[in-house]
């Protein structure tokens, strides 16, 4: 059989290409409006699994540590492992979605998630916990990257920001709901019940995918389509399975604009983990909260901020694109979308982080707790205003490899987040909450600097890059 390694694995589609815009947009009209909404709902709901699985674990760390006879710091390492393997899994699934399509990836990854979740619920010691958490992350993360690729398959440029805003908004409702639900279940039953329940939800999601989710890749652009086309030209048959390099998507970071926009979001993401992961220890211990359900409720304002901010960010980014395109007489500059992240990156994220450090350090009782909860909500809104425009911008400039570029984004962000998970508690224990949050604020401003450079010099950097970008030509 002939090798297919030399075949281009991409999702190439003509975005704003050619002289006739209607013909370029025709590929997005394969599905009716109602079918698109159904696809968006299923992908968004399944995308919730990754965030829900990660966030439901955090408030139960003290109970898990007691159950497995270890310390919270040791159990906290499993959170870093989860984040790291979610990064690798996103790269793996996105790479194969470019060859086999979107739908098969969901069908394969969800059973892995189900079995791993049952394994986490049944684990007897720390090594088993680490192994099954890694598999759980690997199975749950496909919808992060491939889900965004699916949405870019069916929505045009001027609709994509809002659609991805809904996708991220529903996904980010996980940090709002999961800690509360997980805390209540842990208080009433056990953390194991919560993990087993997540596995069952994954199984139900698989049924919905099999029944209602079609293949959305654009016709004739999957790697397997290109391999089959070679048969018609006299080549030998197509192998059922091919080995692809899952790390190849990271090569997209050679593009300066992708690297800078990704680093902008990654810095904010790292700060987000620094303040949220130790919340049970920072706010919980500082204000004398020991009930698991109440500790879980501490995460609610941040998650609500994400949920409110994500659709808002999607609308603002689409509006910004249209406003600046009209201002330029119809010319589209992709970096205009990043302008929607300005207020979140410069003000909301770093200032709320710094404010929390000051409030925890100096304010006692209900006054201090209330101010922290308000700042957590503001921080959640700000994170969405940074996260959504940066992610959508990456899809805009690399639409022909949308799933892969989102996976590369997720991988870079998650590696930094895993580092944040490892250093958060030791930093608080060694230097204190104010120092730790100040460093997280500085990270936020560094992220803003990356985004500002990308806005100012984006067209020039795209011209310098050896990576081929989607543009208005």
Q: How far apart are CA 245 and CA 174, in angstroms?
A: 31
Q: Looking at the predicted structure, is the pLDDT value of residue 301 above 80?
A: yes
Name the packing angle between helices 72-100 and 102-122 (round to 10°): 160
Residue owning tokens 């049944």: 122
Three-state DSSP state, 374:
helix
Tens digits of residue pLDDT in 317-361: 888 988 998 888 888 888 999 999 999 999 999 999 999 999 999
Work out the widest C-alpha separation in the chain, in whole angstroms: 77
- Residue 25 has which token pair? 């947009």
Residue 297: other Cβ atoms inside 10 A? 17
Residue 253 CA to residue 266 CA, distance in Å, equals: 13
Looking at every residue in the chain, the average pLDDT score rounds to 83
Query: Residue 453 falls within a domain, yes or no?
Result: yes
Site of tokens 């006879």: 69
Upper half-sphere CA count for residue 372 (Cβ side, 13 Å): 29
Q: Is residue 125 part of a domain?
A: yes
**Number of domains within the chain:** 1
- Contact (CB, 8 A) for 412 and 263: yes
Please choose, from the candidates 68, 50, 75, the residue with its C-alpha nearest in 3D space to the C-alpha of residue 425.
Answer: 75
Q: Does residue 224 lie within any of the structural domains?
A: no
Q: Contact 117/136 with Cβ under 8 angstroms? A: yes
Check pLDDT > 50 for residue 37: yes
Q: Identify which has the larger pLDDT, 273 or 254.
A: 254
Using a CB cutoff of 8 Å and minimum separation of 24, what contacts does 131-134 make?
133/57, 133/78, 133/81, 133/82, 133/85, 134/81, 134/82, 134/85
The pLDDT value recorded for residue 210 is 92
Task: Kindly state whether residue 2 falls inside one of the protein's structural domains.
Answer: no
The whole-angstrom separation of Cα 296 and Cα 178 is 8
CA distance 417 to 175: 15
- Residue 438's domain is classified under what CATH number? 1.20.1250.20
In a domain, 21, yes or no: no
- Name the token pair of 388: 């959504």
pLDDT 10s digits, 89-111: 888 998 888 888 888 999 999 99
Comparing 295 with 438, which gets the higher pLDDT? 438
More confident residue, 22 or 6: 22
User: What is the model's pLDDT at position 232?
Assistant: 56
Check whether 463 has a pLDDT greater than 90. Answer: no
Q: Is residue 430 part of a domain?
A: yes
Residue 309 lies in a domain: yes
Between CA 399 and CA 161 the distance in angstroms is 13
**Please, how many CA atoms are within 13 Å of residue 254, restricted to the half-sphere of its CB?**
11
Q: Which domain holds residue 74?
A: 27-215+250-464
What b/e sequence results for 239-256 when a residue is b if at least 16 CB atoms lie within 10 Å of its CB, and e otherwise? eeebebebebbeebbebb
Can you tell me the distance from the alpha carbon of 11 to that of 398, in angstroms, rounded to the nearest whole number?
A: 10
Report if residue 471 sits inside a domain. Answer: no
Mean pLDDT (whole number) for 120-129: 92
Instruction: Decide if 256 contacts 442 (C-beta within 8 A).
Output: no
Q: For position 240, what pLDDT does the model report?
A: 65
Share of the chain above pLDDT 90, in %: 31
CA–CA separation, 352 and 146 (whole Å): 32
- pLDDT above 70 as % of the chain: 89
Pure H helices in 328-432: 342-343, 349-362, 365-397, 402-431
Residues whose CB is less than 8 angstroms from the CB of residue 251 and which lie 6 or more positions away in sequence, other chains included: none
In the numeric block, which tokens belong to residue 228? Answer: 């089959």
């Amino acid at each position: 059989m002939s090798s297919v390694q030399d075949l281009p694995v991409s999702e190439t589609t003509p975005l704003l290409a050619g002289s006739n815009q209607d013909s370029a947009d025709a590929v997005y009209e394969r599905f009716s409006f109602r079918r698109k909404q159904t696809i968006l709902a299923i992908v968004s709901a399944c995308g919730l699994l990754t965030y829900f699985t990660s966030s439901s674990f955090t408030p139960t760390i003290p109970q898990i540590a007691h159950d497995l006879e270890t310390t919270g710091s040791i159990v906290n390492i499993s959170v870093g492992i989860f984040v790291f393997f979610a990064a690798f899994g996103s790269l793996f699934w996105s790479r194969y979605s470019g060859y086999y399509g979107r739908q098969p990836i969901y069908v394969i990854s969800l059973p892995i998630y189900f079995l791993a979740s049952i394994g986490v619920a049944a684990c007897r010691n720390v090594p088993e916990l680490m192994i099954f958490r890694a598999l759980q992350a690997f199975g749950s993360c496909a919808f992060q990257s491939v889900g965004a690729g699916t949405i870019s398959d069916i929505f045009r440029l001027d609709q994509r920001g809002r659609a991805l805003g809904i996708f991220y908004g529903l996904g980010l409702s996980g940090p709002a709901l999961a800690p509360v639900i997980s805390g209540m279940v842990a208080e009433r039953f056990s953390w194991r019940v919560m993990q087993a329940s997540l596995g069952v939800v994954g199984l139900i999601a698989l049924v919905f995918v099999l029944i209602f989710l079609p293949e959305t890749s654009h016709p004739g652009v999957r790697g397997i389509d290109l391999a089959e086309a070679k048969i018609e030209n006299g080549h030998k048959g197509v192998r059922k399975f091919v080995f692809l390099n899952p790390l190849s998507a990271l090569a997209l970071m050679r593009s300066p604009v992708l690297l800078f926009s990704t680093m902008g979001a990654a810095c904010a993401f790292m700060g987000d983990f620094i303040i949220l992961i130790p919340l049970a220890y920072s706010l919980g211990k500082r204000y004398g909260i020991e009930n698991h359900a109440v500790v879980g409720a501490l995460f609610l304002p941040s998650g609500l901020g994400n949920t409110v901010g994500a659709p808002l960010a999607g609308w603002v980014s689409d509006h910004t694109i249209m406003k600046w395109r009209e201002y330029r007489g119809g010319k589209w500059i992709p970096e205009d979308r990043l302008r929607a992240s300005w207020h979140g990156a410069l003000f909301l994220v770093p200032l709320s982080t710094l404010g929390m450090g000051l409030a925890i350090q100096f304010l006692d009782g209900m006054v201090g707790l209330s101010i922290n909860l308000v700042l957590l909500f503001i921080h959640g809104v700000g994170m969405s205003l940074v996260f959504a425009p940066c992610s959508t911008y990456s899809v805009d400039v690399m639409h022909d490899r949308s799933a892969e570029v989102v996976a590369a984004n997720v991988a870079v962000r998650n590696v930094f987040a895993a580092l944040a998970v490892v250093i958060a508690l030791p930093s608080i224990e060694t230097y204190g909450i104010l120092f730790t949050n100040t460093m997280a604020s500085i990270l936020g401003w560094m992220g803003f600097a990356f985004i500002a450079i990308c806005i100012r010099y984006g067209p020039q950097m795209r011209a310098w890059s050896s990576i081929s970008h989607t543009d208005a030509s």
